[in-house]
Amino acid sequence: MDSLIPEPLRPFLPLIINILYAFIIFIVGWSASKWMHVLLLKVLRKSELDEALARFLASIGQYLVLAATVIVTLETVGIETTGLVALLATAGLAIGLALQGTLANFASGVMILFFRPFTLEDRITAGGKSGRVVDIGLFATTLLTGDNEKIIVPNSSITDGSIVNHTTQGTLRGNIELGIAYGSDLAQAMELMVEACKQVDQVLEDPAPSVFFSGFGASSLDFIVRPWARTSEFGGMMHNVRLELYDKLNAAGIEIPFDQIVVHQAPPDV
């Protein structure tokens, strides 16, 4: 076999062989890392683990296999990895100091995945944004709004403030502010408001809808109508209840006044 190799390349033969071995090891390790990701994802999904957490753990497994592959590849070609690891650790510290915000997002992403204040498909308000959770990443969470707008929120912004999960309880209570004219029959008006809620199919019977007299407004007697609905039906319920409230009160001749300003003109100077 040596006779087939040109004389000038013979001294480099061991190195060439090691490079070929290293290339093969890298290709196999790269494929194994992807296979590990797929396998872990299947296993974790069968264990009924949260989807976002399963993706995170599967990615960690893939990166560990890939890191081991790189180390073995370097050692195969004769590169001492002990010093390299120390150098990478030092460089990692310097990069970490420069990327504190990014690392904060990473730490927040890990917290979200493990403590699970929300999961995929939940509707939340966090970091000053509202929407349906479509992805929980290591650095950012992606929301989809009702207007079909995608919002990418840094994870640190989410964990630094309050998180409102509109889905987890299964039901939501609406608050509809409504005013009627002074001089109206309050008992009749409140009864009609409750009836209006009960006419809407999406309104739950338990908890039952309620009506509260909230105050004396400048132009109206103010009420708050509070119907309950399942989270998935909340938007449609609020729309239908408002329609029923208007129809019921209008049919009974109960006025819903608009804001009015009374201007008194001073008499002219004599």
Secondary structure (H, E, C), 119-178: CCCCEEEECCEEEEEEEECCCEEEEECCCCCEEEEEHHHHHCCCEEECCCCCEEECCEEE
Q: Per-domain residue ranges for the chain?
A: 10-98, 117-165, 171-251
Average pLDDT over every residue of 186-199: 95
pLDDT, tens only, 148-167? 999 999 999 999 889 999 99
> In the prediction, which pLDDT does 41 show?
82
Q: Of 176, 191, 178, 180, which Cα lies nearest the Cα of 254?
A: 180
| Residue 96 · residue 147 · CB < 8 Å | no
> In the prediction, which pLDDT does 99 show?
47
- The backbone torsions φ and ψ at residue 141, rounded to the nearest 5 degrees and listed phi first, read -115, 135
Name the β-bridge partners of 6. Answer: none
Structure-token pair, residue 69: 């592959």
Query: One fold for both 117-165 and 171-251?
Result: no
Least confident of 1-10, 62-71, 109-118, 224-233: 1-10
Q: How far apart are CA 197 and CA 205, in angstroms?
A: 10
pLDDT confidence tier of residue 208, bands split at 50, 70 and 90: very high
Question: Does 268 score more than 80 pLDDT?
Answer: no
Average pLDDT over every residue of 3-31: 70
Question: Does 63 score more than 50 pLDDT?
Answer: yes
Average pLDDT over every residue of 100-109: 74
| Residue 156 · residue 122 · CB < 8 Å | no
Q: Which CATH class is domain 10-98?
A: mainly alpha
pLDDT, tens only, 18-28? 778 778 888 88
Q: How far apart are CA 35 and CA 69, in angstroms?
A: 14
pLDDT, tens only, 125-134? 998 999 999 9
Question: Does 214 score more than 70 pLDDT?
Answer: yes
CATH number corresponding to 117-165 = 2.30.30.60
Structure-token pair, residue 130: 């509202």
CATH topology of domain 171-251: Alpha-Beta Plaits (3.30.70)
| Residue 140 · residue 157 · CB < 8 Å | no
> In the prediction, which pLDDT does 141 show?
93
Q: How far apart are CA 46 and CA 207, in angstroms?
A: 36
Q: Of 217, 237, 125, which Cα lies nearest the Cα of 225?
A: 237
| Residue 184 · residue 223 · CB < 8 Å | no
